[in-house]
Amino acid sequence: MSVVRSVIRGCGSYLPAGVVSNAELAKRVDTSDEWIVERTGIRQRYLAGDGELTSALALKASQSALAAAGVSPSDLDLIVLATTTPDETFPATATAVQASLGMTRGAAFDVQAVCSGFVYGLGVADALLRTGQGTNALVIGAEVFSRLLDWNDRTTCVLFGDGAGAVVLGTQPGQGTTNDRGILATKLHSDGRLHDALYVDGGPGKTGTTGHVRMQGKEVFKHAVVNMAGVIEEVVALAGLTLQDIDWLVPHQANKRILDSTAKKLGIKPEKVVTTVDQHANTSAASIPLALDVAVKDGRIRPGQLVVMEAMGGGFTWGACLVRW
């Protein structure tokens, strides 16, 4: 049976210039390189400069993804931008990227699912492309997450960083089998009862301020491993494949221990897991497309391979997307 598939035509990423090591952070906060590395695997993070906005990081990642795909902004029908740190409460930061790219048609909007945002964005864009909304879509994950941090709270401020990544999706006919290139399956979940484990204590409605990240780390850790392992199994089964078929896991990068525990729970070899948390820290919605770009550029992810991207974040939200590259 002939079907329409959304194929990843190219990817790109961008990191701000400011690199901050754990040792530098330890001069500002009561922490140490040893604690951060042992508990999280993080060694450094990139922080956006004053006045450097999510839209600016998103634009640079998008330009690099469009160049890699050989697609021009005028060929785009859709921009879906996953972010928790929009430039303004409204309009959507995606529309700022649309204007900067010189794209004057189609639709652009933001998706808010915190660290799961990029997987949600892929799911939304894939569904819209397959139902005739257009031929080419840009899906971006971009954050200046450092703006949400309480720099007096050592339990959260050492964990996060800023950055952006993007992919260009294009439609292509497939046979409706697992040999097709493109997105083969997506599975999204949320459970709003777990709000208090990870949230921001502000917002336009509640306080009129942006607020700061508050997290019950151990609670999040426990759910992250169970939920991500579960949704990986679900998405692989949905496509009619098995875990043994998977070439690469590209997880949301929150904590090396979460990545290791999830892979171990599923019996997936550690060398199949793309890990960038040591270099980027947790960049929320940007972490998966940043990691993807690293593994594509260094030649690990190759055409024809099966890649699972999965994430979990505040809400809770979680999800996974299975792609044949």
255 in contact with ligand UT7 (CB under 6 A): yes
Piece of the chain touching ligand UT7 by CB under 6 A; list 32-40, 82-90, 168-176, 300-308 = 32-40
Out of 10, 313, 315, 319, point to the residue binding ligand UT7 (CB under 6 A).
Answer: 313
Identify the DSSP state of 162.
Answer: -
CA distance 21 to 42: 9
CB of 46 to ligand UT7, least distance (A): 16
Strand ranges, E, within the chain = 3-14, 18-21, 44-47, 78-82, 107-111, 136-143, 163-174, 182-190, 198-200, 213-215, 248-251, 306-313, 317-324
Name the token pair of 92: 């959507």
CA distance 134 to 106: 8
Q: Is 252 a catalytic residue?
A: yes
How many residues touch ligand UT7 under the rule CB under 6 A: the total is 20
120 in contact with ligand UT7 (CB under 6 A): no
* From 115, 157, 280, 321, the catalytic residue: 115
* Angle between helix 93-101 and 54-69 (nearest 10): 50
Q: Cβ(225)–Cβ(311) under 8 Å?
A: no
193: which residues sit within 8 A by CB, 6+ positions away?
Answer: none
Q: Is 282 a catalytic residue?
A: yes
| One-letter amino acid of 192 | G
117 in contact with ligand UT7 (CB under 6 A): no
315 in contact with ligand UT7 (CB under 6 A): no
CB of 182 to ligand UT7, least distance (A): 27
* From 136, 227, 255, 282, the catalytic residue: 282
211: left (phi over 0), alpha (psi -120 to 50) or beta: left
CB of 160 to ligand UT7, least distance (A): 8
Kindly tell me which of 241 and 249 has the beta carbon lying closer to ligand UT7: 249
Q: Is 321 a catalytic residue?
A: no
Kindly tell me which of 59 and 229 has the beta carbon lying closer to ligand UT7: 229
Q: Which run of H or E residues covers position 96?
A: helix 93-101
CA distance 143 to 311: 15
Count Cα atoms within 13 angstroms, Cβ side, for 274. Answer: 27
Residue of closest CB approach to ligand UT7: 217
Kindly tell me which of 78 and 263 has the beta carbon lying closer to ligand UT7: 263
Name the token pair of 273: 């897991």
Kindly tell me which of 4 and 37 has the beta carbon lying closer to ligand UT7: 37
Kindly tell me which of 114 and 235 has the beta carbon lying closer to ligand UT7: 114
40 in contact with ligand UT7 (CB under 6 A): yes
218 in contact with ligand UT7 (CB under 6 A): yes
CB of 311 to ligand UT7, least distance (A): 8
- Of 8, 11, 68, 2, the closest CA to residue 304 belongs to 8
Catalytic residue annotation: 115, 252, 282
Binding site for ligand UT7 (CB under 6 A): 31, 35, 39-40, 115, 154-155, 158, 198, 217-218, 220-221, 224, 254-255, 258, 282, 312-313
